[in-house]
Amino acid sequence: MYEELPVEAVPGALRAFASSYRTALGGVERSTAARRVEPAVWSALEYACHVRDVFLVERDRAVLAQVKDRPGLAPMSRDERVSICRYDSQSPADVLDQLAMTSELLALVLEGLTPAGWARELTYNYPGPEVRDLAWVGRHTVHEGTHHLYDIHRVLAGARAG
């Protein structure tokens, strides 16, 4: 589905996450936002932190792809970041502000790309090494933001019920 998103629409879709995530998580008590419904399932707060960090990582990857030919990428270490970056101790309001900022920073880079810029390739490392262009990275990031927004709604429903 996201493969069909025109690259010109990617920056706007990224920016729209600021309000979507604020609607989903804004005003939710910290204890509810940080509650895991199952030990192996992230909390709503952890998902929001992850998306914020995805936007930062993808921005750096987009910049790297503009200055290096087909760069290889370091893994994001998404599962390790949850504890290393102490996602569960962060303020939901601060995370929402940061998510808005990082979506804007990524959108600024992507909206400045020419067709040749969108076609720049890198070796994306998840789930396994594969050569991708920045058009794929942009669309994939929109997919990630959408998917994790769904996750937030799902885990919040469970956190509120339990």
**Domain locations along the chain:** 2-161
| In the chain, % of residues over pLDDT 90 | 91
Mean pLDDT of 2-19: 95
Cβ atoms 2, 143 nearer than 8 A? yes
Judged by DSSP in three states, 131 sits in strand
The pTM is what? 0.96
pLDDT the model gives residue 125: 85
Q: How many residues does the chain have?
A: 162
Q: How far apart are CA 113 and CA 34, in angstroms?
A: 37
* Chain segment 36-70, per-residue pLDDT in tens: 999 999 999 999 999 999 999 999 999 999 999 99
| Whole-number pLDDT of residue 109 | 98
Cα–Cα distance, 158 to 162 (Å, whole number): 6
Q: What is the mean pLDDT of residues 26-38?
A: 95
Mean pLDDT, the chain, rounded, equals 96
Dist CA 27 CA 29 (whole Å): 6
Digit-coded pLDDT (tens) for 75-111 = 999 999 999 999 999 999 999 999 999 999 999 999 9
Checking if the pLDDT of 126 tops 90, the result is no
Fold of 2-161: Four Helix Bundle (Hemerythrin (Met), subunit A) (1.20.120)
Q: Find the radius of gyration of the CA atoms of the chain.
A: 16
- Does residue 5 register a pLDDT over 90? yes
> What pLDDT, on the 0 to 100 scale, is given for residue 1?
62
Q: Are 115 and 134 in contact (CB under 8 A)?
A: no
Strands (E), 1-140: 121-124, 130-133
